[in-house]
Chains A and B, each alone.
Chain A
Amino acid sequence: MLEVRDLNIEFHDHSKPETVVYDFDLVMEEGDIVGIVGESGSGKTMSALAICGLLSRRDMKKRGQILFQGKELLTCSRQEMRELQGDDIAIIFQEPMTSLNPVMKIGWQVEEALKLHTNMTKEKRYERAIWALREAELPFPEKVYDQYPHELSGGMRQRVMIAAAIVCRPKILVADEPTTALDVTIQAEIIELLQKLNREYKTGILFISHDLSLVRKLCKRVVVMQNGYIVEQGNTEQIFGNPQKEYTKHLIAAIPGCDQVKEEKDFFHEEVVLSVKDICVSYYSSKGILGKKQEQEVLKGVDFTLHKGEVLGMVGESGCGKSTLAKVIVGLNKAYSGKLECEAGSVQMVFQDPYSSLNPRKTIGWILEEPLKVKGGYTKEQRRQKALSMLTKVGLDPEIANRYPGQLSGGQRQRVAIGLALMSEPKVLVADEPVSALDVTIQAQILDLLQRLKEEMGLAILFISHDLRVVYELCDHVIIMEKGKIVERGTPQKIYTSHEHPYTGELLKVAGIEKIAEKF
């Protein structure tokens, strides 16, 4: 049905043409589910956009062929391409929060493809839109039809995107990282939804992701890409069971596994560097000036202690209060009740988003020196020296000191952010989802770095994450949070093999590690 041959994509908007995809080949039959995996910059999204006709023909030179049911998509007229877009070929994107038009009703947006491709009556279109919304498993489709995007959560918006994509019953649905921006449990639901659509309507799915475990779960065939080239392609079992190429092996090895047995360490004789007792936080929202204040409890009595050299993993979905707790601990939120004991200035934080947490107008050197300036008591030369040695420590070239954050990759920026947190020699590092915005291989490197720094500096780390696999690898103890409460705690071994709380079980299930017990 879809055949791509020798596709080459070149950008021409800079003085030098830049090739982002080389000799891309792909064959999809009706009802196929094919996955493209690779890290950022591997060309997977570009190939997908090319298939959907979403690359500007002006900035781009494409060579090769894209045949859809025998029609050549690269040379056909724009009008012919537009007739296929949204009708036979549909796409859903990574960012459900921004991919919908904020000022148009959901119903209008779902119906749009019908207006463009069919001559249904208004009533027929409404019926069809409701069908699509129901098919995408949105509760109360009639209500959602009249709502606006900002009234829906990320997961619901992605369902709306899916509803709008399937409303014309496309032959191919391209899903570009559709779950990356969503919570784990919602991720699993979206994957199930895609499977259902494939089963019931024989919709071919081209699934693009950096998450190998998701691809393994969903796809029948896999294409592995790196730097614009296809490294390997084949059946899923074959690729995962018996990878041929070094890069594929490397990628699979970088998936944080839960396969090695961990030694249990005892921290009770170590110094307590952070103690949290019965922390409660409530947010208040009021309706208007005279309206009644509404209380919303975010944290309901959380307590734990952190010893020197210990890594404590905190796991939960968004909204469970983990980021609020992090803010309380580093002193960014003072409106809490309970007891918080730690040495003043001994806690530092690393944030999730390495792209926006560094000031883009300052050099890396300046950024690293700033905590020392605030602290005072260092000469200019001393500050410079300390910043440079910190760069080496976090595995960066000291040369980088003169560059700006925009010139660094995501992994490099996260290293700078970690270095920045360590400049004032803290005892506790609070890392709020420090690797979730990064590619798998970079993820593994950052985790190694944290492990090494912990051993070198005797740091205690509070590691906040939604990824149970990462937590298993790095942490000595784990606490599971649900709706502002700790529902389970213990060593990773214990939690992963014999959990007690049903919520933990659910989290383990969606992470695909429910059967870990068998390994031990």
Chain B
Amino acid sequence: MKYVGKKILTMCLTLLLVSFLVFLCFTVIPGDPALAKLGTEATPERVEALRKEMGLDRPFMVRYGDWLISFIQGDMGKSYSYSLPVKQMLADKVPITVTMSVMSILIIIFVSIPLGLYVAKREGGVADRVIYAVNQVIMAVPPFFAGILITLLFGIVLKLFMPGGYVSYTQSITGFLGYMIFPSIAIALPKISMTVKLLRSGLVGEKKKDYVRTAYSRGNNTKGVLYKHILKNAMLPVVTFLGMTFTDIIAGSIIVEQVFSIPGIGRILMTSISNRDYPVVMAVIVSLAATVIVINGLVDLIYQWIDPRIRLEEQS
């Protein structure tokens, strides 16, 4: 329990640091929210007045402190550009991005683990070599390009979905999921090939270890040795990789959302940055950071659950 408490404390400190750095960044980089809001109607006097109204003329630390206190109280502030509470703006965007990320991680897990086991069993065979070659190619394709190809093939040629015809989950859950499957595949593809490769080399490497010989000597068949002994050991690097992948996916969703014109978190982050809409940017980045930190913590827990050697080190 003490360990968990410590962990949560470090998480909070990390979040605090992230928020401070982001806040600092937007003070340092050029661009003025008041100027952006006024646009063509800007005169120096009006900008000055608006700055005062928005509280931008106060010292940096005061503004940060203000933001922090209201954020902790659950108030994310008001968007500069839309004059809407940030919470309300994000509320219907978050499920979209979360759905996409979760869908892609599920695709990765359910495709790559059976595939990794399949190729490892046929090490050196035709299937192994073909999948290896295909993997090398897929690994090199970034998600946005895969997205374009998928749009072309499934959208324009096969007409399985309407490119750009995003269906909101408020209208139709099945339509929404049907549309989301394609961007999720685009995100998952390169990660699948990496996971397959990692799992395959893990399994093949573990196969040669001494404990495998021991397992055979007890009368296990090949399947028993693979599933009861080797898999858990070979999953260790894969779990670490999947953890990093999940955070990567969330960050990478920004680009894929553009390609498939999905109104998710990524989209709103892009527009807010160019509009200097700081309250929105802050809220998005801090929540992203929180998600990443929580996932890392979960991966740590899973890792300890699989590998007893780590458990011991953490306890002592």
Contact yes or no, B214 A150, CB < 8 A: no
Q: How many A-B residue pairs have CB under 8 A?
A: 76
Contact yes or no, B209 A85, CB < 8 A: no
Q: How large is the interface on B (under 10, 10 to 19, 20 to 34, 35 or more residues)?
A: 20 to 34
Chain A 149-187 interface 0/1 with B at a Cβ cutoff of 8 Å (1 = within) = 011000000000100100000000000000000000000
Chain A 74-108 interface 0/1 with B at a Cβ cutoff of 8 Å (1 = within) = 00001100111111001101010011111111000
- Residues in chain B near residue A100, CB distance under 8 A: 211, 214
Contact yes or no, A113 B218, CB < 8 A: yes
Q: A93-B214, A116-B219 are in contact. Are A101 and B229 (CB under 8 A)?
A: yes
Contact yes or no, A116 B213, CB < 8 A: no
Q: Separation in Å of the A426 CB from the closest CB of chain B?
A: 38
Interface residue total, chain A, C-beta cutoff 8 A: 33
CB contacts under 8 Å to A, within B173-216, are 209-211, 213-216
Can you name 21 A-B residue pairings with CB atoms under 8 Å?
A: A54-B213, A79-B221, A82-B219, A82-B221, A83-B219, A85-B217, A86-B217, A90-B217, A98-B209, A99-B210, A99-B213, A101-B233, A104-B229, A104-B232, A105-B308, A113-B218, A148-B309, A150-B309, A150-B312, A161-B214, A164-B218
CB of B99 within 8 A of chain A?
A: no
CB of B316 within 8 A of chain A?
A: yes
Q: A82-B220, A116-B218, A117-B219 are in contact. List 13 more A-B contacts (CB 8 A).
A: A85-B216, A85-B217, A85-B219, A86-B217, A86-B219, A90-B217, A101-B211, A101-B214, A102-B307, A112-B228, A116-B219, A148-B312, A161-B214
A294 to B211, CA, bound (A): 34
Contact yes or no, B211 A102, CB < 8 A: yes
Chain B 212-245 interface 0/1 with A at a Cβ cutoff of 8 Å (1 = within) = 0111111111001000110011000000000000
A98 to B211, CA, bound (A): 6
A226 to B211, CA, bound (A): 28
Contact yes or no, B232 A54, CB < 8 A: no
Cβ-closest chain B residue relative to A287 = B316
Cβ-closest chain B residue relative to A81 = B219
- Residues in chain A near residue B309, CB distance under 8 A: 102, 148, 150
Contact yes or no, B316 A103, CB < 8 A: no
Q: A98-B209, A98-B210, A287-B316 are in contact. Are A103 and B219 (CB under 8 A)?
A: no
CB contacts under 8 Å to A, within B277-316, are 306-309, 312, 316
- Residues in chain B near residue A104, CB distance under 8 A: 229, 232
A85 to B213, CA, bound (A): 12
Q: B306 touches which one: A52, A101, A103 (CB < 8 A)?
A: A103
Pairs of residues from A and B, 8 with the lowest C-beta to C-beta distance, nearest first: A86-B218, A85-B219, A86-B219, A148-B308, A98-B210, A101-B211, A113-B218, A82-B219
Q: B219 touches which one: A84, A98, A102 (CB < 8 A)?
A: A84
Contact yes or no, A93 B210, CB < 8 A: yes
- Residues in chain A near residue B216, CB distance under 8 A: 54, 85
Contact yes or no, A54 B233, CB < 8 A: no
Best-buried of B214, B221, B309 by chain A (most CB within 10 Å): B214
Cβ-closest chain B residue relative to A285 = B316
- Residues in chain A near residue B316, CB distance under 8 A: 287-288
A54 to B213, CA, bound (A): 7
A91 to B145, CA, bound (A): 55
A113 to B214, CA, bound (A): 11
Contact yes or no, B210 A103, CB < 8 A: no
- Residues in chain B near residue A288, CB distance under 8 A: 316
A79 to B223, CA, bound (A): 13
Q: A93 touches which one: B213, B221, B228, B308 (CB < 8 A)?
A: B213
A116 to B219, CA, bound (A): 7
Q: Separation in Å of the A92 CB from the closest CB of chain B?
A: 9
A301 to B135, CA, bound (A): 60
- Residues in chain A near residue B220, CB distance under 8 A: 82, 112, 116
Cβ-closest chain A residue relative to B3 = A288
CB contacts under 8 Å to B, within A42-90, are 52, 54, 78-79, 82-87, 90
Q: Separation in Å of the A316 CB from the closest CB of chain B?
A: 28
Contact yes or no, A101 B219, CB < 8 A: no
Cβ-closest chain B residue relative to A90 = B217
- Residues in chain A near residue B215, CB distance under 8 A: 101, 112
CB contacts under 8 Å to B, within A114-138, are 116-117
- Residues in chain B near residue A79, CB distance under 8 A: 221
Cβ-closest chain B residue relative to A164 = B218
A288 to B3, CA, bound (A): 11
Q: Separation in Å of the B2 CB from the closest CB of chain A?
A: 10
Contact yes or no, B210 A95, CB < 8 A: yes
Q: Separation in Å of the A282 CB from the closest CB of chain B?
A: 19
Contact yes or no, B214 A102, CB < 8 A: no
- Residues in chain A near residue B228, CB distance under 8 A: 112
A104 to B306, CA, bound (A): 9
Contact yes or no, A112 B218, CB < 8 A: yes
- Residues in chain A near residue B211, CB distance under 8 A: 98-102
A90 to B213, CA, bound (A): 12
A57 to B88, CA, bound (A): 67
Contact yes or no, A91 B217, CB < 8 A: yes
- Residues in chain A near residue B229, CB distance under 8 A: 101, 104
Q: Separation in Å of the A417 CB from the closest CB of chain B?
A: 26
Cβ-closest chain B residue relative to A79 = B221
Chain A 492-511 interface 0/1 with B at a Cβ cutoff of 8 Å (1 = within) = 00000000000000000000
Cβ-closest chain B residue relative to A91 = B217
Cβ-closest chain A residue relative to B311 = A148
Best-buried of B215, B216, B218, B312 by chain A (most CB within 10 Å): B218
Contact yes or no, A150 B217, CB < 8 A: no
Q: Separation in Å of the B222 CB from the closest CB of chain A?
A: 9
Cβ-closest chain A residue relative to B220 = A116
Contact yes or no, B218 A103, CB < 8 A: no
Q: Separation in Å of the A115 CB from the closest CB of chain B?
A: 9
A101 to B213, CA, bound (A): 10
A100 to B210, CA, bound (A): 8
A336 to B82, CA, bound (A): 69
A105 to B306, CA, bound (A): 11
Cβ-closest chain A residue relative to B216 = A54
Cβ-closest chain A residue relative to B217 = A91
A287 to B314, CA, bound (A): 9
- Residues in chain B near residue A78, CB distance under 8 A: 221
Contact yes or no, A102 B233, CB < 8 A: yes
Cβ-closest chain A residue relative to B222 = A78
- Residues in chain B near residue A103, CB distance under 8 A: 232-233, 306-308
Cβ-closest chain A residue relative to B309 = A150
Cβ-closest chain A residue relative to B230 = A101
Q: Separation in Å of the A48 CB from the closest CB of chain B?
A: 11
- Residues in chain A near residue B214, CB distance under 8 A: 93, 99-101, 161, 164
Cβ-closest chain A residue relative to B209 = A98
A78 to B221, CA, bound (A): 9
A70 to B232, CA, bound (A): 39
Q: Separation in Å of the B259 CB from the closest CB of chain A?
A: 41
Q: Separation in Å of the B284 CB from the closest CB of chain A?
A: 33
- Residues in chain A near residue B224, CB distance under 8 A: 116
Cβ-closest chain B residue relative to A112 = B218
Contact yes or no, A150 B308, CB < 8 A: yes
Best-buried of A83, A87, A95, A101 by chain B (most CB within 10 Å): A101
- Residues in chain B near residue A98, CB distance under 8 A: 209-211
- Residues in chain B near residue A112, CB distance under 8 A: 215, 218, 220, 228
Q: Separation in Å of the A191 CB from the closest CB of chain B?
A: 21
